[in-house]
Structure 1
Amino acid sequence: MKSSLIILTAFLLFACDNEKKEKQDNQMYKTTGTFERFDPSLDLILDTNVKAEIIAEGFEWSEGALWVEKENMLLFSDVPMNTIYKWTESNGKETYLKPSGYTGSEPSISKEPGSNGLTLDSDGSLVMCQHGDRRVARMDAALS
């Protein structure tokens, strides 16, 4: 009886996990635009039926996107808002780092105070091109 209960519990936990996964896989996002192919070799890495999806909105100017595989998150900058956002399938968009570029105490006069290019160094630390501070900076804190 005890082993039957353990097996049933394991099955139910597995079923719950699969249901959550199916909901995530079936999540629909608005689509926009098209992909113009100038070279047929693009079809080797990008499905011909792929659509550009809008996974988050409400930014002035976003760029510098970086996919962090280890954390299953996308980091990107909203340059005028001086903010790095993170996006995950489970939580959507969240503020990750603010300020991200200009860190001075006086208000910035720049229209581009935030970070721009993002990458990971060989140690897995976030490296940012900071417009506002006119430097390349490495974040010493953990990514998550």
Structure 2
Amino acid sequence: MTTFETVGQLTSFDPAFADVVDPAARVEKLTGDEFSWSEGPTWVKAGFLLFNDPPENRMFRWSEADGLSVFLDPSGHAGAPIEGVREAGANGLYTEAAGTVLVADSGNRLVARMDPADKSRTTLAERYDGKRFSSPNDVVARGDGSVFFTDPPYGFREFDESSLKEQPVNGIYRIDADGTVHLVDDSLNRPNGLAFSPDGNTLYVANSDDKRPIWMAYTLDAAGDVTGSRVFADATDLMDEGVHGLPDGLAVSTGGLVFATGPGGVLVMNAEGKRLGRIETGSAIANCAFGDDGKTLYMTSHKFLARVPLKVAGLGFQN
């Protein structure tokens, strides 16, 4: 059995953190420093993790048995380089109940569904109101089959000022089962990671803005429309010189705990937004996902992949 290097630390803010992760648990570094920016992890039911390196336009596969390998190259845009594009690859991934994987394809400026068995893809949406998306960043499915995703301008070198940008807002969108696309919210400057509460009625969204580093909670009706919203948590007090990371990727446990990448690592918060603790790797963590039997948290940590064992399980692993 491979022994991995221990990195980072666990920081407790509340005694309840000990019920989430053993205080003696090791944060393990699973790969070398081989990625420009690792992102978008998701656990595939066949028994492996997929994640992306958007700047390098590659998708990787990792498992305990087989280690690291390239799964897709390119993961996104396959043509000649496009002037003004800084991330040609895919970004966020999400494994659906049927085993298919949703892909936030930043380079191709669309959202797709991929069959991990044969790597075939079907485009779900690439435009809203006749205009191309900017660079879909993260994606998640609701229990009713609808798909939600965020569309910040991170794929462009000049961000909002890019001549490639067609959408007037940086939005949160919903794709209904019939393919119809709806703008859910346009109030965030940098909407990024997103995840649902266990009942599917609350959508958590990270705002990766160093001037407003918050997470929003949107209450949704049966159709997926917003009926209310609130600031779920605010990381302004954690922003400091030398602290790496912003609100980015999200994952939720079966009990409703929110695992949110942010300043310093992965913040673990209860359903009221109270901080219980932080899982740290020593570098900025872009995203996280539950894997194995649901009680392992995998983290894409800048240049490497990391994991930590938990006492709680992620959504989708309860059966």
TM-score, L = length of structure 1: 0.72
Deviation per CA, 1:88-110, whole angstroms, max 9, x where unpaired? 1111100011211223x222342
- Poorly superposed stretches of 4+, deviation over 3 Å: none
Work out whether residues 31 and 54 of structure 1, in 8 Å CA contact, stay in contact via their aligned partners in 2: yes
Cα distance, 1:140 vs structure 2? 3.6
Q: Which has the higher contact order (CA 8 A, sep 6+)?
A: 2
Residue 66 (structure 2) aligned to one of 81, 91, 106? 91
TM-aligned CA distance change 1:108 to 1:31, over 3 Å: farther
Q: Alignment partner for residue 39 of structure 2, among 47, 51, 63?
A: 63
Q: Which has the higher strand share?
A: 2
- Please give the alpha-carbon distance, in whole angstroms, between the structure 2 residues aligned to 1:51 and 1:137: 35
Range with greater deviation from structure 2 (120-129 or 86-95):
120-129
Letter in 1 for 2:16: S
Taking structure 2 as the reference length, what is the TM-score of the superposition? 0.34
For structure 1, the 5+ residue unaligned runs are 1-23
- Residues of 2 paired with 1:116 and 1:63: CA distance? 6
Of structures 1 and 2, the larger Rg is shown by 1
| Distance across 1 between alignment mates of 2:105 and 2:58 | 11
Gaps of 5+ in 2: 120-319
1:143 deviation in Å? 6.5
Contact 2:36 2:53 (8 Å CA) reproduced: yes
Q: Taking every aligned residue pair, what percent have the same amino acid on both sides?
A: 37
How far did 1:133 drift? 0.8
Aligned length: 117
| RMSD of equivalent CA atoms | 1.9
* Structure 1 residues 90 and 32: alpha-carbon distance in aligned structure 2, compared to 1, 3 A threshold: same
State the Cα distance separating 1:127 from its structure 2 match: 0.9
Decide whether the 8 Å contact of 1:108 with 1:132 is kept in 2. Answer: no
Shift of 1:55: 0.5
In the alignment, what sits opposite 1:114? Answer: 89
Q: Find the aligned partners of 1:67 and 1:40 in 2 and give their Cα distance.
A: 29
Rounded to whole Å, the distance in 1 between the matches of 2:115 and 2:9 is 39
**Is the CA contact 2:41–2:93 (under 8 Å) kept in the aligned structure 1?**
yes
Which of 5, 30, 41 is matched with 2:16 structurally? 41
**142 and 51 in structure 1: CA distance in 2 versus 1, 3 angstrom threshold:** same
